[in-house]
Amino acid sequence: MNRTHDVKRFFNVLFDIIDPVNTNDQVEYDNLLYQINTIFAHNGIRLSYENNTPKIHLIKAAKNISDAKKKSNDLKSIIESRSLHPVLLNFIGEELLQKNYFHAVLEATKSIYKRIQKLTLLKLDGTRLIEVALSTNNPYLIINNLSSESEINEQKGFVKLLSGITSMFRNPTAHEPKIEWTVSKEDAIDLFTIISFAHRKLDQVQVVQQA
């Protein structure tokens, strides 16, 4: 049999499985994609769908079986100890396997903006996106009914939390050289915990309007 044909057919089957049109559950989809990519990362491969187009990315693979197991165990330890959200894991899985915490932090913050953009269809980004999408006056998204002062304050607090993440983590990692702005494993994991909390809030969000 033609080996190239077999490999192509194998990946076509995989892409059929991870095609986003097959599910309406974003969390379930991201978790599936993450699990598949965790396996392929050890072979230097990552799969994705970008603009409805399936893609195969070549990444740095583990050096040997021992290295692969160590990376897998380290990653599993981080995930289990902090109960990281599957949407977040889909963005940072590759960086965690490579222990690239600097870029993992940047990708983690992107996961919030990408999810808000998808929910609202807004073309904004960063702090402006957060402020518009979660405004208490004309919101696109609400995390409660905004029917009391306490609920309004909770919505405002969520905006401040996400804006703070932008100021403290996203802007520095996007604009500063890696050599001049280091991110420790401990700081990165703490941020992942906060962003996982934010994603769990977004799991329950109500979409009031879309752009």
For the stretch 90-133, pLDDT in tens is 888 777 767 788 888 888 999 999 999 999 999 999 899 999 99
Give 135-191 pLDDT, tens digit per residue. 999 999 999 999 999 999 999 999 999 998 887 776 554 545 555 557 787 888 888
CA atoms within 13 A on the CB side of 53: 5
Residue 60 DSSP SS3: coil
Q: Does the CA dihedral 127-132-133-139 come out positive or negative?
A: positive
162 Cβ contact list (under 8 Å, min separation 6): 112, 130, 134, 198
Segment 65-96, tens digit of pLDDT = 555 555 555 555 666 667 788 889 888 877 77
* 129: nearest Cα among 88, 147, 137, 121: 121
Q: What's the CA gap between 155 and 157, in Å, rounded?
A: 5
**Alpha carbon distance 11, 202 (integer Å):** 32
Write the DSSP symbol of residue 146: -
Q: Please give the structure tokens belonging to residue 160.
A: 């401040």
3-state secondary structure of 104: helix
| Amino acid, single-letter form, for residue 59 | I
Q: Rounded CA gap, 155 and 135, in Å?
A: 8
State the Cα–Cα distance between residues 69 and 131, nearest whole angstrom.
42
The pTM for the full model equals: 0.64
Sign of CA dihedral 138, 143, 146, 150: negative
| Residue keyed to tokens 């939390």 | 161
